Amino acid sequence: MADRPIIFVLNGPNLNMLGTREPEIYGHDTLDDIAGRLEDRALELGVQIDMRQSNHEGHLVDWIQEAGATGARAILLNAGAFTHTSIAIHDAIKGVNVPVIEVHLSNPHRREAFRHISYVGQAAKGTIAGFGAASYMLALDAAAGF
């Protein structure tokens, strides 16, 4: 397993509540459900994932920097609400030489106006949004090709 390239999958605030928090928006899958499917797909793609979640902005910054320091192939980042507020996460992404794919379960552009601005997206290589849990799978497929 150690010989397979690693892709960090980082999840921000409230994503630990998936499956119960506003399922009409975010679906019924839990983060563990998504992690299981990502692990299976990663094996097929010849990569490994390191999936983490925190409600704390500084943890996400630390993990982005860790991904850079350890030579990760890519980062899939669902920063949750920090997407729209965190210049610190934006700067962390800009400070590492690792491609970041911004991931969202819902389509932020079809939601409240404050969700239309993404500091993460301004620094990321690309964004995949609006496909529910499949957004993560699409992002993993893209990241495995880097």
The yes-or-no answer on residue 26 being catalytic is yes
Ramachandran assignment for 11, one of left (phi > 0), alpha (psi -120 to 50 degrees), beta (any other):
beta
Geometric angle at alpha carbon 18, from 12 and 20, rounded to 5°: 140
Catalytic residue (choose from 26, 90, 119, 136): 26
**At which residue do the structure tokens 């990569």 appear?**
47
Distance CA 47, CA 60 (A): 21
Catalytic residue (choose from 56, 59, 90, 104): 104
Residue 112: which residues within 8 A CB-CB, separation 6 or more?
Answer: none
Distance CA 129, CA 82 (A): 15
Query: Which residues form the catalytic set?
Result: 26, 104
